[in-house]
Amino acid sequence: MYQDVYISLLQCQSDHSSQSLILDPYDQNYLTYNVFTRDELQEIVDYEKKTKHLPSDELIRFLNQFNLDSTEKIRVALGKNNMFKAQFDSQKDADEDWIIHTIYSLLREYEYGNMEKSHSEAWYQSHIWSMIESCFDKFKGVEAITGESACLGSKRRVNKIRHISAITSTPRLKCGYKCDLVFRQYDNGHNTPLEFGGSEAKPKIEGDFGSNFLEEGFLKLPYILKDMLDALLEKVEYDDRSSLLRTVGFIHSGLSCNMVELDRPVPYIYRVSRSNRVEISNSVLNFGSTVLPAMLSSWVCCEIVKEVLDIVLSNKKENSNDTSWVIDCLERPPLPNTPATSSTPSSINKSYKRQKH
């Protein structure tokens, strides 16, 4: 597999995810140019495939009460499941409370005719896909940040060879990729927060062939997820937890969404996994069959982030008899790597040497 990916990236005339060792089995190029057969791509998809978290049977039954086809029926169901009760527990009842909140918010959009009109990207993010942001409310320690937030993982990568002024001036600080939504640890100012995924959004559905969908779904988002995963891998020091980690995100186009995951099942090679497209209908007649799957995708995404955070924070080195940390913490850090574009002393412009003297 390594050789196949390497040969394909050598032939790329344009930017391609394989150049960053990201293998996307759903990229049509692999079949078009005979890099892999369909069976080989399916084998890549299935190799140590990570499981999807599903809600409990009780929560599925609760959600399925809203598998309805009219605003009147949905309002009746909401009335029967009023969560404004005196014994409300923000943790125990969080999922049901989120379901009620999301159903009611979307119900109003149908009742007032907003689903029949075209809107801006910001409208879809705040009125429809805010279900993702609110799903993270129950999750202590991580939040969904909106508003074109810069990916810290990307910022770290593009600035890793930044230096103080010497022969040349200090390079300008770059911000890296920006996301419409980022799943990030609380930024308390004491530590660099970890990131677990994000989303890219566009106001119009283009289909699987649209330029924006291809650019952001097959290039930008995988690059962002890789930068985030690299930071998580460094956090666990590339130990046996590495293959368990993954990052997750969405591609939103109007009322549709595709969930995208990225993991590293083998050393050096990153794999993209994709879920079926979910498209919320603009007709309330299809409320149950389209809205509920979109809500389930949001819930699953939140659970994936929670799982990864638990893995990262699990301390594999707890041992009261091990005092090796005394020496380790006093070790000098490794020297910086030589950038690929660095010059040897013999090739440095002689004018710099004359200026030095």
pLDDT (tens, 9 = 90+) of the chain, 357 residues, equals 656 666 666 677 778 888 888 999 999 988 988 889 999 999 999 999 998 889 999 999 999 999 999 999 999 999 987 666 667 788 888 999 999 999 999 999 999 999 999 999 999 999 999 999 999 999 888 999 988 788 888 888 888 878 888 888 888 888 878 888 999 998 777 788 999 999 998 877 666 677 777 788 888 999 999 999 999 999 999 999 999 999 999 999 999 999 999 999 999 899 999 999 999 999 999 999 999 999 999 999 999 999 999 999 987 666 667 777 787 778 787 777 765 544 444 444 444 344 444
Calculate the alpha carbon distances from 76 to 113, 139, 179, 281, 283 in Å. 19, 30, 38, 21, 18
Same domain? For 40 and 180 the reply is no
Same domain? For 156 and 18 the reply is no
> Is 142 in the same domain as 233?
yes
Same domain for 128 and 248? yes
Q: Are residues 129 and 245 in the same domain?
A: yes
Residue 32 lies inside a defined structural domain of this protein: yes
Please tell me whether residues 140 and 36 are part of one structural domain: no
Q: Is residue 25 part of a domain?
A: yes
37 and 124 part of one domain = no
First to last CA, the chain: 53
Give the closest residue to 176 by CA, choosing from 145, 155, 192.
Answer: 155
The pLDDT, as a whole number, for residue 42 is 96
Q: Please check whether residue 86 lies inside any domain of the structure.
A: no
Domain that holds residue 239: 120-161+173-313
Q: Give the orientation angle of helix 57-64 with respect to helix 94-111, to 10 degrees.
A: 20
For residues 291 and 166, give the distance between their C-alpha atoms in angstroms, rounded to a whole number: 57
Query: Who's near 150: CB < 8 A, 6+ residues apart?
Result: 175, 176, 177, 178, 179
Tell me, yes or no, whether 75 lies in a domain: no
Task: Please tell me whether residues 43 and 127 are part of one structural domain.
Answer: no
What is the C-alpha to C-alpha distance for residues 153 and 176, in angstroms, rounded to an integer? 8
Q: How many distinct structural domains can be found in the chain? A: 2
Q: Are residues 25 and 133 in the same domain?
A: no
Q: Is 52 part of a structural domain of the chain?
A: no
| Closest CA relative to residue 70, chosen from 111, 17, 131, 33 | 111
- Residue 278 in any domain: the answer is yes
Among the three residues 31, 47, 63, which one is the final residue of a domain in this structure?
47
130/247 same-domain check:
yes
Question: Do 145 and 277 fall within a single domain?
Answer: yes
Residue 266 lies in a domain: yes
Read off the tokens for 13.
């005339």
pLDDT at residue 1, as a whole number: 61
pLDDT for the residue numbered 168 = 85
Residue 135 lies in a domain: yes
